[in-house]
């Protein structure tokens, strides 16, 4: 087995004298569960007892939550602290806040028999969760009641299928337990193993129920988000309708202004036409005045000539009269 910089223990030493460096776990350790933990432990080749002693940094005989998280990280798991704490709670059957060796053995060995089915179920639930997230994104982009109904149907189908698979596993283990009791006439190591597996299945059922509750919560959240989007859409439609009404009013006002402008243009053209007429009349008046002035001048000149002739005739007559008188 090749060496690796990563170590299995947090203390850097092994009580059984084994090497402190071991092979790194295979890829995929970001998906944390009991079966993956068991497979990684088996791949490293260490006995569970040895690993337990390596993880127990303070040699208290139990592993704390902090020691458990450090151990998982040395195994190569990249899950969050919340997921690591959730797995620790599954191991801590008596809820003491510490995991002893017996609890570790029951959890790790009990995860082996139905591990493949559980991994398939978890992968299926993970795929459905991703599908729900994609559907939620589509709903946020403008989906409606149809998307919500499809998600609700998918979630309900996934929950029912998970329940059916868990129920089938429980029934199979119960049948094995009954067969073991009938053959052994009482409690036996085989029946104890089956009972332990039943306990594991019950834990899985509780986990599935918890997952179903989380799915329902997510669906409720999606419904609330959809409701908010529908309210936002209704508000947007109201605003759009108001803007359309304002646009119609503006259009009507613009048409009225255009009509008024056309009317004013007609009035301007009529005024311009009248102004041209008045201008022509003014020209005619000026010409008439000029003609009158010319005729008056001619008449004045004519009368002046006549007056001059009369004055000359009168002068002549006066002169003759004076001469006669003299």
Q: Which domains, ranges and CATH numbers included, belong to the chain?
A: 1-112 (1.10.238.10)
- What does pLDDT average to over the chain? 75
Q: What are the angstrom distances between the C-alpha of 18 and each of 25, 43, 67, 81, 105?
A: 17, 15, 20, 28, 20
Residue 283 confidence (pLDDT): 93
For the whole prediction, is pTM greater than 0.75? no
The three-state (H, E, C) secondary structure of 245-306, written as one string: HHHHHHHHHHHHHHHHHHHHHHHHHHHHHHHHHHHHHHHHHHHHHHHHHHHHHHHHHHHHHH
Q: Judge whether 180 and 188 are in contact, CB under 8 Å.
A: yes
Listed in sequence order, the DSSP H helices in 21-91 are 34-44, 48-55, 65-74, 81-91
The three-state (H, E, C) secondary structure of 7-29, written as one string: ECCCCCCCCCCCCCECCCCCCCC
Residue 13 confidence (pLDDT): 38
* Residue ranges of the chain whose pLDDT lies below 70: 1-32, 44-46, 109-123, 135, 137-159, 162-163, 165-197
Burial class of 155 by CB neighbour count within 10 A (0 to 12, 13 to 18, 19+)? buried
Residue 280 confidence (pLDDT): 92
Residue 45 confidence (pLDDT): 57
Distance, in Å, from the CA atom of 210 to the CA atom of 213, rounded to the nearest integer, reads 5
Tokens of 91: 């191991």
């Amino acid at each position: 087995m090749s060496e690796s910089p990563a170590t299995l223990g947090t203390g850097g030493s092994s009580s059984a004298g084994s090497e402190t460096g071991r092979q790194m776990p295979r890829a995929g350790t970001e998906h944390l569960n009991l079966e993956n933990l068991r497979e990684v432990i088996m791949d490293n080749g260490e006995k569970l007892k040895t690993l337990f002693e390596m993880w127990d940094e303070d040699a208290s005989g139990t592993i704390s939550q902090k020691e458990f998280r450090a151990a998982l990280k040395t195994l190569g798991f990249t899950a969050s602290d919340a997921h690591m704490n959730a797995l620790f709670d599954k191991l801590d059957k008596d809820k003491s806040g510490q995991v002893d060796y017996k609890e570790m053995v029951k959890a790790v060995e009990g995860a082996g028999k139905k591990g493949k089915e559980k991994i398939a179920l978890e992968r299926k639930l993970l795929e459905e969760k991703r599908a729900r997230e994609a559907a939620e994104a589509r709903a946020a982009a403008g989906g409606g009641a149809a998307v919500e109904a499809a998600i609700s149907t998918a979630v309900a189908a996934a929950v029912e299928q998970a329940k059916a698979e868990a129920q089938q596993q429980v029934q199979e283990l119960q049948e094995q337990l009954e067969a073991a009791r009938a053959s052994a006439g009482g409690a036996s190591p085989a029946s104890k193993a089956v009972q332990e597996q039943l306990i594991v299945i019950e834990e899985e059922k509780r986990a599935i129920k918890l997952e179903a509750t989380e799915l329902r919560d997510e669906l409720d959240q999606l419904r609330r988000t959809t409701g908010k989007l529908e309210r936002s859409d209704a508000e947007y439609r109201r605003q759009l309708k108001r803007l359309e009404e304002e646009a119609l009013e503006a259009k009507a006002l613009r048409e009225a202004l255009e009509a008024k402008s056309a009317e004013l243009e007609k009035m301007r053209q009529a005024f311009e036409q009248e102004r041209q007429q008045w201008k022509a009349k003014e020209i005619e008046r000026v010409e008439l005045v000029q003609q009158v002035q010319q005729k008056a001048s001619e008449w004045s000149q004519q009368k002046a000539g006549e007056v001059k002739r009369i004055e000359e005739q009168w002068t002549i007559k006066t002169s003759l009269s004076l001469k006669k008188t003299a």
